[in-house]
Chain A
């Protein structure tokens, strides 16, 4: 099975940098996803890591260490619109299934 842990809530200031961590224990691994979900809306895909290292995409970067069962999402130059829930999800090896963590609610303050 899968066990995924991420902090429940985080607060940061506009313009700052924030790192959202995700640890996982899994019996099968085919990569790790990050999704963003604004309140009352559907999740949307942010990033995918299957190899160790850092993937950068504009203001957002995602890191993976498979040996440590650890990932983080790094958000730079925070904007008010980044206030949302960030979901870490581990991809299984079959049928495209993913197991989601409970999400981290990020609040960006002026």
Chain B
């Protein structure tokens, strides 16, 4: 258990508003990831971080930005939420153990109305 928390756990917001989701880890893992999970699409990588202030885009990064100012925190921001961003968002971390297995937070269910 990697000690990963996400906040908020549930959020309903209106189209056009900015939203920030927070991921906090206590395991000092180097790598952190944001995914979205939608029915029929599995987990899709939005952005990831390979160290403090080092981030890069994943496969579905449009409309999202991230920041990592401390090892333990990774923020995901929806700059102007749209209904297509209604989803479950998972944060994950990975150390540098065998195969870089990932440990997931409990998820945030976001609804954009």
Contact = CB atoms under 8 A, between A and B. Distances in A.
Same complex: yes
Interface of A: 30-31, 33, 41-45, 48, 50, 87, 89, 91, 95-103
16 contacts: A30-B99, A33-B101, A42-B105, A42-B106, A43-B102, A44-B104, A45-B103, A48-B99, A89-B43, A95-B50, A95-B56, A96-B31, A96-B50, A100-B43, A100-B44, A102-B41
A48 B43 contact: no
Interface SS, A side: loop
A42 B104 contact: yes
A31 B98 CA distance: 10
A59 B73 CA distance: 36
Interface residues of B, number: 27
A62 to B, nearest CB: 12
A97 B44 CA distance: 11
Interface in B77-113: 90, 94, 96, 98-107
Interface of B: 31, 33, 35, 40-45, 48, 50, 56, 58-59, 90, 94, 96, 98-107
B99 A43 contact: no
Nearest to B45: A97
Contact of B94 (A96, A99, A101): A96
Closest 5 CB pairs of A and B: A96-B100, A42-B104, A102-B42, A48-B99, A100-B43
Contact of B102 (A30, A31, A50, A98): A98
Given A30-B100, A42-B105, 14 more contacts: A30-B99, A44-B104, A48-B98, A48-B101, A95-B31, A95-B48, A96-B50, A96-B100, A96-B102, A97-B48, A100-B35, A101-B42, A102-B41, A102-B42
Which one of B31, B48, B59, B104 has the highest number of Cβ atoms from chain A below 10 Å of its Cβ? Answer: B104
Contacts of B50: 95-96
